[in-house]
Structure 1
Amino acid sequence: MSSLRRIYLVRGLVALVWSGAFALLHTPLTGLVVALLVIYPLIDVVATLLDVRAGTPGRTLQVFNTVLSGLAAVGLGAAAAAGGVGPVLFVFGLWAIVSGLAQLVVALRRRSPELGRQWPLLIAGTLSVIAGGSYIPVALGDSPSLVALIMYTAAGGTFFVVQAGILAWKSRRAKVSLDR
């Protein structure tokens, strides 16, 4: 549980830092912005691989999510090179939908007394599906914008930090119970 707590905390904090950097740089679609866009799903790849290595429940789906996030990184780079903001938002939206569904299933499988009810991650997965679905029509519209990704990544980071806090609280509570 302590390794999962660290993974969630670092993953959440990195997402929050990424969100802040992206907020400052998101327009125009420069090489640095494209690099940030490609890096974001790679953050998910690294965190998910560490999660799989820790042996926590939901590993098969986590491996799927790793491959999906790797493909998203490639797709975001290709979309930026080929067509700009609209295609980037479209690819990000598709990735958000599928990875959100995967996160929901993993969170449901991890619900246990030791790992908690996983409410922050269930909410984050649900919001990822909803947000991704909302990006698709915007991407196909007349004036697509990447500004929505700032809130998306900040919220996701916050939910991971909250889940890490819940795991830390549960761990302390269990230790206190054992010490009695």
Structure 2
Amino acid sequence: MSTPTVTSIPTGRAGAGERSSLLKLYLIRGLLAVVWALAFAGVQRGHEDLGAGAVALLVVYPLIDAVSSLIDHRATPDGSERRVTAFNGALSALAALALCLAGAGSPAAALHVFGAWAVVSGAAQVLVGWRRRGPELGRQWPTLISGGLSFLVGITYNIQAAGDHPSLDVLSVYATGGGVWFILQALLLGWKSRQLRTRTV
């Protein structure tokens, strides 16, 4: 799942450039999440323990978010929104390292780490989406909903990890849901860009 009042973002070249950049980023991020979910479901199906392939994929998922945050950070003007994006990128990189270590332990440990990361990164995503909630960026409702769900689901993962039979199968559902919300946000930005272009013709 991973990823900013603004007062009024200009509807001219700068606003169009930011929308275009975010549209591509959200679309690619969403598609990668769906592909990851399919891959993880394939390698983990029928296995209670973590194999090398599953551990590698666990590490890759937050790395995708870290790279996305880096790209977003470079395209975002200086301010609190940019700092939150940088924080989220660093957090995701640390989560990848922690998942590498936890994956050598047990599914419960990996689920604990993933859940903790989902909580904090979800909160960061809500904050960034709130800062980008202006009409020129499509109100960011998919981003806000996705971040809020990530926060809540991360809490449930930590509860499940403390139970008797923690399962990592839920992570494929998490990634699929996050991917769908990113794709919806990209489509909303595309619709908004077309709407604004029509107004200026």
Q: How does 1:7-156 map to 2 (within 5 A)?
A: 7-26=25-44, 27=47, 28-55=49-76, 58-81=81-104, 83-156=105-178
Post-superposition offset of 1:137: 1.5
Gaps of 5+ in 1: none
The normalised TM-score by structure 1 is 0.96
1:138-168 Cα shifts (integer Å, max 9, x gaps): 1111111001111110000000000000000
Structure 1 Cα separation of the partners of residues 29 and 74 of structure 2 = 15
Residue correspondences, number = 178
* Structure 2 letter corresponding to 1:174: L
1:59-79 Cα shifts (integer Å, max 9, x gaps): 100000011000100000101
Name which of structure 1's ranges 46-55 and 163-172 shifts more when overlaid on structure 2: 46-55
Q: Which runs of 4+ in 1 moved over 6 A?
A: none
1:110-151 Cα shifts (integer Å, max 9, x gaps): 011211211101110110011100011111111110011111
Secondary structure of the residue that 1:114 maps to in structure 2?
Answer: helix
Structure 1 Cα separation of the partners of residues 76 and 155 of structure 2 = 31
1:65-115 Cα shifts (integer Å, max 9, x gaps): 01100010000010111x210000000000000000000000000011211
The normalised TM-score by structure 2 is 0.86
Structure 1 residue 172 and structure 2 residue 159: aligned? Answer: no
Gaps of 5+ in 2: 1-18
Post-superposition offset of 1:2: 0.2
Name which of structure 1's ranges 161-170 and 50-59 shifts more when overlaid on structure 2: 50-59
Percent of pairs identical after alignment? 51
Structure 2 Cα separation of the partners of residues 63 and 97 of structure 1 = 17
